[in-house]
Amino acid sequence: MKRSSSQRAALAGRRAAMGLVVLVLLVAGAWSSWNTAHHIVLAKGRDHGTVTVTGCGEETCTGAYEPDAVSRERPRVSVDRSVAAREGDRFPVVVKPGTDAVVRTGVPGFLHAWVPLGGAMVLAAFVIGGGLRMSRTAWGAGTAGAALLVATFVAL
């Protein structure tokens, strides 16, 4: 049976709307990840050191900061509270410019920074598979997002 022009237009509209939803999900995930990741990816010229977590509140943990050879001293720094920061933990960090807030570096910190993108990829996979009817692409996006989430869990 041949489709009418209105059916083709409705199909094209649906695909465009689903494509826009996927685009918004992925851009939002990447944007959210980049807010933290750029401190790790573009860390040259920033203060580096090691933090030892001494206490945690509702949203942040604080600790003693030991700078590397070229970084300046700070009496106390804070890191966002997550499953990756518990009292007594010690890990390498980079200081956010102009603040006493730090971001975890190394492979665990890098992976943790990209968790929002991994979650967005998993969510987008459902829209790609169900809304766009692109099952292979959906499996690829979902698997890549899930692999990033699992790798982060294992690294931390």
The domain limits of the chain are 41-106, 114-156
Q: By percentage, how much of the chain surpasses pLDDT 70?
A: 98
pLDDT, tens digit, for every residue of 73-89?
998 999 988 767 788 89
pLDDT of residue 80: 87
The chain-wide mean pLDDT, for the chain, equals 93
pTM comes to 0.87
pLDDT of residue 85: 78
Residue 136 has pLDDT above 90, yes or no: yes
pLDDT of residue 83: 61
pLDDT, tens digit, for every residue of 32-70?
999 999 999 998 889 999 999 999 888 899 999 999 988
In one-letter notation, the amino acid at residue 103 is V
CATH number of 41-106: 2.40.50
Average pLDDT for 129-154: 96
82-110 burial, b at 16+ Cβ within 10 Å, e below that, comes to eebbeeebebbbbbbeeeeebbbbeebbb
Residue 1 has pLDDT above 70, yes or no: no
pLDDT of residue 87: 86
Angstrom distance (rounded) from CA 38 to CA 22: 23
Angstrom distance (rounded) from CA 97 to CA 16: 41
